[in-house]
Amino acid sequence: MSFQKDTTMSDLHTEDTPIGAAVINLDSAADTRAVSLADPLALPCGAVLPNRIAKSAMSEALATIDHKVGDELVRLYEAWSDGGSGLLISGNVMIDRRALGEPKNVVVEDDSDLEGLKRMAAAGTRAGNHFWMQINHPGKQSPVDLNEKAWAPSAIPLKKEIRLFFREAQALTEAEILDLIARYGRVAGLAKKAGFTGVQIHAAHGYLISQFLSPLHNQRTDQWGGSLENRMRFVMAVYKSMREAVGADFPVGIKLNSADFQKGGFTIEESVQVAQALDAAGIDLIEVSGGTYEMPVVATGLKDSTQKREAYFAEYARRIKDAVKAPVMLTGGFRTDGSMKQALTDADCDVVGLARALVLDLNAPRDMLAGKAFRSLVKPLKTGIRMIDDAAMMEVWWYGRQMTRVANGKAPKPRESALWAFILIMLTKSSQAWSTRRLRAN
């Protein structure tokens, strides 16, 4: 189907077709529908997203060295809220200070920084949009210079090319698993108390929940491993714990891998079944992504023929969307307003997720909603050093630098050299990791 640029989708809504539920065929193809980026979306819990553009989670690494919210996070989320997205999702907030993904992650374990979280929530909702907290635990993707231990479903190391950078995994005990489930719930409850308007479970990208789902990384023989039913027990328990903490009318979403894209790993067929189980349990939004640190396709997509569109995981999101009632968000690769509109009208997803594009152009959503064409400045980053360029972290670090600029009132630098940025980042990160370890030792 080709998107008809001259048609304003919202014009097609009538009194009889409730916004967000309208399904009108634009042409003879049966699976196209009239949905525009500007349409609101009612979620299963009853909350309504004001439009279909979401800022996907990006780890800001902008908390204080002891993991509290400071002015930089407040300024960054004020800017994003003003940018027009219907939904902002925070960078991953960690549930255990012993298990960080990066220095200066926000960590929530209790209400000791409730005032900081309140400031962050107020900043990120100031334009009337939704702002959800993404909740995460890195599992074995636990940087060696930052954490003393790594907990995972099974004591299986990461692949040898990246093993050196991470702590050796130890298998979680039953008591530790139950403690983690309770932590996810506690953090969700605190997010609601602080004024976040929803929460998102991070179950993608090879972190702890993703490890539980993976037959490669989860080789437990108890109720938490083995069959898919057992491997998904952890994520279902985390969902239940969070739902109980926030109640039935508060959005609980999930970011789920369409697949790990690794031989013997979590597949799209399994992902569809997990999505169906979460759907039956009442999940409000399923964000579809893919890949792990071992197979870092999250920021590049797959280099094969399945990737026929700008959005890396479109085919997979469509398979999930066809199998569930809950709305689906698709993230990864969107660079133009045309492809976003097409993903909605082709029913690949209900919400488009943007990450890097909204670091370089914070007001893109507002402009697109006003009818302006959009083409992102995001382009591949190359330092010229293969090992670095092949790893997922360069994207995270380079965009992290740009977020730091915005958080300090400066404009991002879309042309900043990747190699130069890499050198500066290495210096900063190692000094931050040292400060984190020193703080922990005291």
Ligand X SMILES: Cc1cc2nc3c(=O)[nH]c(=O)nc-3n(C[C@H](O)[C@H](O)[C@H](O)COP(=O)(O)O)c2cc1C
For ligand X, the binding residues (CB under 6 A) are 56-59, 91-92, 134, 202, 204-205, 255, 289, 298-299, 331-334, 354-357, 395-396, 399-400
CA distance 337 to 364: 9
Q: In the complex with ligand X, which residue's Cβ is closer, 9 or 355?
A: 355
3-state secondary structure of 277: helix
CA distance 315 to 258: 9
Q: In the complex with ligand X, which residue's Cβ is closer, 347 or 392?
A: 392
Least distance in angstroms from the C-beta of 136 to ligand X: 7
Q: In the complex with ligand X, which residue's Cβ is closer, 211 or 289?
A: 289
CA distance 31 to 41: 19
Classify residue 95 by its DSSP letter.
Answer: S
Least distance in angstroms from the C-beta of 178 to ligand X: 25
Least distance in angstroms from the C-beta of 174 to ligand X: 27
Helix 233-246 to helix 174-194 angle (10° resolution) is 30
DSSP assignments along 353-368, one per residue = EESTHHHH-TTHHHHH
CA atoms within 13 A on the CB side of 414: 11
Least distance in angstroms from the C-beta of 335 to ligand X: 8
Least distance in angstroms from the C-beta of 291 to ligand X: 9
CB 332 within 8 A of CB 338: no
Least distance in angstroms from the C-beta of 226 to ligand X: 27
CB 288 within 8 A of CB 329: yes
Q: In the complex with ligand X, which residue's Cβ is closer, 185 or 301?
A: 301
Q: In the complex with ligand X, which residue's Cβ is closer, 348 or 395?
A: 395
Q: In the complex with ligand X, which residue's Cβ is closer, 22 or 53?
A: 53
Least distance in angstroms from the C-beta of 232 to ligand X: 19
Q: In the complex with ligand X, which residue's Cβ is closer, 13 or 266?
A: 266
Place of tokens 């996810």: 184
Q: Which residues share a beta bridge with 55? A: 88, 354
| Tokens (6 digits) for 28 | 């003879």
| Tokens (6 digits) for 277 | 């189980």
Q: In the complex with ligand X, which residue's Cβ is closer, 217 or 255?
A: 255
DSSP assignments along 238-270, one per residue = HHHHHHHHH-TTS-EEEEEES---STTS--HHH
Least distance in angstroms from the C-beta of 255 to ligand X: 5
Q: How far is CA 84 from the centre of its chain?
A: 18
The residue type found at 399 is: Y
Q: In the complex with ligand X, which residue's Cβ is closer, 283 or 357?
A: 357
261: nearest Cα among 313, 186, 330, 222: 313
Place of tokens 């005291």: 442
CA distance 67 to 301: 32
Least distance in angstroms from the C-beta of 185 to ligand X: 19
Least distance in angstroms from the C-beta of 402 to ligand X: 8
Least distance in angstroms from the C-beta of 97 to ligand X: 17
CB 139 within 8 A of CB 152: yes
Q: In the complex with ligand X, which residue's Cβ is closer, 41 or 299?
A: 299
3-state secondary structure of 195: coil
Phi, psi (deg, nearest 5) at residue 236: -65, -40
Q: How far is CA 149 from the centre of its chain?
A: 24
Q: In the complex with ligand X, which residue's Cβ is closer, 33 or 68?
A: 68
